[in-house]
Chains A and B, each alone.
Chain A
Amino acid sequence: AAGVIQSPRHLIKEKRETATLKCYPIPRHDTVYWYQQGPGQDPQFLISFYEKMQSDKGSIPDRFSAQQFSDYHSELNMSSLELGDSALYFCASSPEIAGVQYNEQFFGPGTRLTVL
């Protein structure tokens, strides 16, 4: 079965650089979620999109922005990178079934961002 695809899987950047993380949800999943997992920490919700509109926002820095495109893929743009942005970034997706949002989120493998 198709899974959530994230690219790149690994990314190394310097401080103050920018990074773009991409997420391709499972086909026919219209909701995308982004989470950040710092070293030794639990995943923290950043932002979510439903049908290309932002549906919820968590502890996402102003330096970060995200969007969902017409093909439902999503991109997380990170600018002025700081050392503390080094983390594993997960994308998850979920479908709407018969007009009702499904109760499970399916996670991708994550993008490991290292800021030097």
Chain B
Amino acid sequence: AQSVTQLDSQVPVFEEAPVELRCNYSSSVSVYLFWYVQYPNQGLQLLLKYLSGSTLVKGINGFEAEFNKSQTSFHLRKPSVHISDTAEYFCAVTLAAGNKLTFGGGTRVLVKP
């Protein structure tokens, strides 16, 4: 079975500073990887996904993530955050299209002015 670990439960960051959210996964087979964002009292919105090909994936709102197979990681980065990026971020994996998503514990990002 696959599992996901998000190494930081909370990340405080100042506005316009860079941020990196760490995600490691465990699986004996190839997986698809996703990052979702959840704003307060809202649903889950897809930021980006890795299926295959280039290991650097660009998503919405200036986010990008890098897939590292040897380290089984899929860290999310943004070079300059805004107040509006305050939210909870979830890393997720699935074994194949049409299969369930397994989520990490989430990282709460608090952007301070």
Residues of A within 8 A of B (CB): 31, 33, 35, 41-45, 48, 50, 55-56, 58, 90, 92, 94, 100-110
Contacts and interface: CB of A to CB of B under 8 A. Distances in A.
Contacts of A35: 101
A103 B106 contact: no
Interface string B38-51: 00001111100101
Interface residues of B, number: 23
B29 interface: no
The A interface is mostly helix, strand or loop, or mixed, namely strand
B44 A33 contact: no
Contacts of B102: 45
Contact of B49 (A42, A45, A103): A103
Given A42-B105, A103-B49, A108 B43 contact: yes
